[in-house]
Structure 1
Amino acid sequence: MADTTATANPETPTTGEDGVRRRDFLDIAAVSAAGIGGLAVVYPLVSQMAPSKDVLAASSTEVDISSIEPGQAIKAVFRKQPLFVKRLTPAEIEAANATATGSLRDPQSLADRTKEGHEDILVTMGVCTHLGCVPLGAAEGEVKGEFGGYFCPCHGSHYDTAGRIRKGPAPTNLEVPEYEFTSDTVIQVG
């Protein structure tokens, strides 16, 4: 008769109660260690590409507009460029609204360029859209151009009271940056 006792086959893997082989555990442990090592190498490379604290600080600017009288403007700095904040007079608002947007090179209404409820506050970048000169008209006594807004002395671009290009080589209106009113007297640009 043949021997019916089973003999252990050395090729048969040994399994525990849950069916996981010892080799599976070693594979999982090796892959986990490699993943942690990979993260330890990649994290410093990725984190060094994040902006520094001084760059983040320059990414937004708060401007107090409480002292600006109607017809006055102040200059501030936003991302190392001049920023004009002007409180328009009722006459300037009327002149801007009287201009048909269809007649403009870069058609925008005053409402498109200001925030609802604050139509008298115009916030623009103080950089001519032609070649990047700083237009005149924000400070008292400066030439405001033919349309009462801003005048770029470099190449003769004229902007109206809403900062829209009306005459000269500039292709577009003065840029209106992203901004919001954090209170009735403070705006945050950026």
Structure 2
Amino acid sequence: MATVENTDGTAGGAPDGVRRRDFINIAAVSFAGVGAAAVVYPLVNQMNPSADVLALASAEVDVSQIQPGQAIKTIWRKQPVFIRNLTEKEIAEANAVSVGSLRDPQTLAERTKEGKANWLITLGVCTHLGCVPLGAAEGENKGEFGGYFCPCHGSHYDTAARIRKGPAPKNLEVPEYEFTSDTVVQIG
């Protein structure tokens, strides 16, 4: 009986182990995978936020100087943020509103932190077309409902920054925030 010699030098029918062709296939696929990763990584990485945006990812604000009934405007992620210390009267007015009558139904408790119902923190950007509403600074027009008034198209917000009148579809947005102490709030 004659033996057949394979091109890789082994004798007989099926060779044992990995053949040279299998090794070349595995090497080629591995090389292509590494090449694809080298091409895709920069494309995905460029979608990450830039360093200046990451630096503004959170902001700490000392609220100890804000008296009841006052509001301040600060900046977070290049957008205005309103921080308002609500009076007992403003809290009562907000709680007296029937939630079912609101365009974007939310209670004051849903818009503030438990135990800190007097602190209302919202983005100062009208939900209609992105104008900055009035009402945070002393003497500014607070609208018909005592909260904020957007002069661009006439949206009126109440003391809980909920839309009550005008073209704005939603309430002023409440960003993520937490109180790190009794007098310091961290936004973001």
Fold similarity call, TM over 0.5: yes
- CA RMSD, 1 decimal: 2.5
Partner of 1:83: 81
Match of residue 120 from structure 1: 118
CA distance in 2 between partners of 1:132 and 1:42 (Å)? 35
1:157 corresponding residue in structure 2: 155
What's the CA shift for 1:25? 2.9
Structure 1 counterpart of 2:5? 10
Bigger drift between 175-184 and 77-86 goes to 175-184
Q: Which has the larger radius of gyration?
A: 1
For 1:94, the aligned partner's letter is A
- Report how far residue 185 of structure 1 moved: 2.6
Q: Which residue of 2 aligns with 1:132?
A: 130
Corresponding residue number in structure 1 for 2:44: 46
Instruction: Note the residue ranges of structure 2 that are not aligned, 5 or more in a row.
Output: none
Counterpart Cα distance in 2 of 1:119 and 1:104: 20
Q: 1:32 to 1:186 in 2, by over 3 A?
A: same
Count of aligned positions: 185
Alignment of 1:91-106 (within 5 A): 91-106=89-104
Cα deviation, 1:60-105, whole Å, max 9, x if unaligned, reads: 3332222222111110112322110111111111111111212222
Name the aligned partner's letter for residue 143 of structure 2: G
For normalisation by structure 2, the TM-score amounts to 0.83
Paired letter, 2:77: R
Opposite residue 65 of structure 1, the aligned amino acid is: V
Q: Distance in 1 between matches of 2:108 and 2:147?
A: 13
Identity, % of aligned positions: 72
Amino acid in the other structure paired with 1:97: N
State the match for 1:29 in structure 2.
27
Q: Distance between the aligned counterparts of 1:88 and 1:138, measured in 2? A: 12
TM-score, normalisation: structure 1: 0.82
Residues 167-186 of structure 1: CA deviation (Å, up to 9, x unaligned): 33333222222223333333
Residue segments in structure 1 that go unaligned for 5+ positions in a row: 1-5
